Structures are given as structure tokens and as C-alpha cells.
Structure 1
């Protein structure tokens, strides 16, 4: 059963030359799986994710023939209805923690706010926040809990933001380059957390990334976007056999130490991408 259904999603921004469509007729479904969205900067990946959560910035507008999450029509929700979904059942990890964390609020208070907003007691929220900070491999969760965002490094800030989005164990998580500022070892731990939520809790994950190798081994399916459109959809394990010229171009851009192009790994769902 599909968790998310998107049909003919369009995101438009006004310009001096007239309306500019940055997402043009995107359609896909998402089950309890890991869906990767790849493409160059400006291809519409992030705006697609924001539109799904009703976060298209003003003065932009998002429309769709169908935008449905777990049987809920997202197109006409009120602000109150959105507050009941975001954070609790739907979350998005933004690419840059500097613009996502509140600079005048301690990190722990921000994590607790997610749970407190949806009914958790103060003690329960504090315990869950500390456990999640520890889960994303923060060595001193008590210190980070009390710290402000400007006191954290870029990688630690990104881990704190990931913890904030995962602390409520949402049904749908949109992760926009969630591991770009992390060391490889920490990246693996974060991916393990995401993988566990998908497999054990049945979470749906949209994983937005430029890393084709990571997407091919971590995700189940891949959407390739170019100029606001989905140009190809295929199984992640089949990414190296892509037919569209744009996808092939992306693959040909992958660096190799010896100067020769190497095929993408074709790992199945049970394979360990962490090895």
C-alpha cells in the first residue's frame, strides 16, 4: 500500500519575466521503502520535498492533481492540520543546520519541543531527546543538549538536526543531503538509524542526494530529476544500466582514483552498505 501519492506536482515562482516552474509535473508513489531522488543542483529535488510538506516559500506556489499522505489529502490542509502532521508523522531533514536550527534556543530544548508539541511530558521528552542525540553518535549528549547551535561544529549541528527530525519516529521522512557534512563513520551510523526506521517501523524515506554510489546501495528505487522533471525511474540496483542520456552523464562524472570509470555497486536490500 502506498504511503504517499504524488501526481503532476508543480512548483512555480514569480519572476520579472513571468512565472517560472521549478518543478514540472512530477509524479511518483512511495511505500514503506527508501526512495532516492538524484540530480544536479537546481533540478528541483529540494523543492519537491518542501512542496510535499507544504513548505514552499512565499511567493512560490505548489499545485498537484493528487498529493496524498496515508489517505490524507495534503492540498487543502489548514495551518492547524499541518501542525498535527509535521514533526509527528512527517519530517524533513534540511541540508544546512545553520538555517534550520533556532540560533537562540538550546539544542535540547528544540528536540524536546518536537515531542512536547505532540503531548509528551517534560521528563519523557528529555529522555527521548538525550537517547536520540546518543543514537546519532554524539559523544557527550548532555553537553550538546545544553549547547546552542553556534557552539556546535557543522557536522555535529547536522547530527543534532537529524536527531530532531527522528526523535518522534515519523511515518515519512524527507532527508535532503542528510549526511553531506558528516565523516564516513558517522554517516554510516546515521544511515543505520534511517534503515532501521524503514525496516522496523515501516517508515517511508525520500533520500535526496548527489551521491549516486550511496543512493545506489542504500535506496530501493531512484528518481532522476533534470530541469524540474523526472526523466528516469528505476531500481537502485539497476542504476548502472540507466538508459536516459542525462542519467548516463551523471554516472560518467563519477571520479575514479585510477582514472577509469568503475560500475556502481549493485547491492541488494539485504547487503551491507556499511561494510
Structure 2
């Protein structure tokens, strides 16, 4: 079959399973044929796919028919212009999270002197999308600036830290020294390593699990059946991790240090209130494209 016919036939098979059936098929084909942009796919519509490539496509398509996310099938998700490795150990990076990353980056370059040594922590690092995107931006600005800063990524999941390690090389390049990027296995701040990190950090950023437990089963099959529940469930009201991070971060942030959160679509006001009651000032929101307050940031006043 020609590629155009494959796209047409198999898009119909995915209808009702995927919200973007044609795009899913195109992404799978492009991955198999190593097309790095859509133009190459369009120019190949009249070409036939080889038998081996078609068999590979069918294997992938059958996984998608079972609601396995495309990002897990091809082990790749674009975020902040970079290709991140992803698998079932980590949450798939979402465009909404780019709002958080962009605000942290803007803060670094507007608030701080770019020659300063900064210490930055990502609590619940997952794939590393947040921390490594920030680090890459700093590296592109100045290698000296990047290397004098310290980055700490924390996760309870060994699998997630393995994914972050893969992405550390993907995003920062194998020629970079990783001495200043520490990946730490810990249940939030409970690791003994934190005993030596009091009043150390200028910035803590987190996209913690924040889905209320009762809402997990209402999520789409590709999320609830395949993305790690460890990275989704935020307890009964979705606020467990926010509250613990807010309370504990006061030990590790410097005076006037900043705490950035990605917020669930309806949790920003509650996060703000809890931050305000626990020593944070100058709290602000940033909205996502749907108009929800997606970012919450506050300054710790000791």
C-alpha cells in the first residue's frame, strides 16, 4: 500500500480510540521511516512502505489500538523544542508544563545576575523535562554560567531517575560535565542527603502528583491504564504533595528563595492559600491556553 492509503485506512481504525487518529498514524509512520519533519511525509504519500516497515507499523498500531500512548510506543516526546526519551516509568510531558519552565527561565535571567551561582531543585523530576530544559537554556546562554550552578532532581522512582539519566545526556549532550547535576532517589525530602542541603536552594520547582484519587478512574484509558499512578495520584483531594513540599521546602530554600508549582486546573487558589499561611509572599499565577491558573509561584520570607 501507498503511505497515503495506510494513513487513510488506519486513521479510521483509530477513530474513537484516539482524539487525533490521523496524527497518531502519521507520527508512527514518520518514526519508522526516520522522517524528522512533516514535509518529508507529505512528499512520500505516493511511495509504498516496505514489507518490514509495514510489519513494524502494524505492531505499533496494535499497541495504539489498546490505548498505549504514542509517546510510549516510540519512546519519545517533544518538549520545549527538545526530544525527551519517555517510557511507562514517567509521566508524559505536557505542553501546559512549558508555562512553568518558561517562567523559571525568565526569572533566572531577569531576577538573578547571570554570573551568580544558583542552586535549583526539581522535586518529582520524572522524565527530567522541567529541570533539564532549564539547564539546557542556561547552558546555551553561557557554559560558564551553567557549570557554576548546581541542579538537583529528586524522585521516589528508580525507573524515573533512569529515564532522567538518559535525558540528561540527550538534552545536555555527552560532552557536558554532569558533576553539577545530581539525580537523587528520595521520597520527597526524606533522604539523608537532605541533611546537608538546608538553606541551599534559590529555586525549587515541582510538578507533583495532583490528581484526586477518586478522579483517577475518570481519566482517559491511555492515561489511567498506562501512565504511572505514582506520578498521578495526589491523595484524596490532590493536595497531599503540594502541602508537604510547601512545608518542607522552607528548610531548604534560602531567604527570598522561590517555589514554583504546576497546578491542577482548579487547585491554584488552595495552593496559594497554603503557601501564604506558611511564610510565602508575592505569590502569583500564570494561566495556560485554556485560561486555567497553571503556574503558582511564591517567595519564601524567613
Task: Looking at secondary structure, tell me which structure has more strand per residue.
Answer: 1
Task: Looking at secondary structure, tell me which structure has more helix per residue.
Answer: 2
Tell which structure's C-alpha radius of gyration is larger. 2
Q: TM-score, normalised by structure 1?
A: 0.31
| Larger relative contact order (Cα-Cα within 8 Å, sequence gap ≥ 6) | 1
Q: TM-score, normalised by structure 2?
A: 0.29
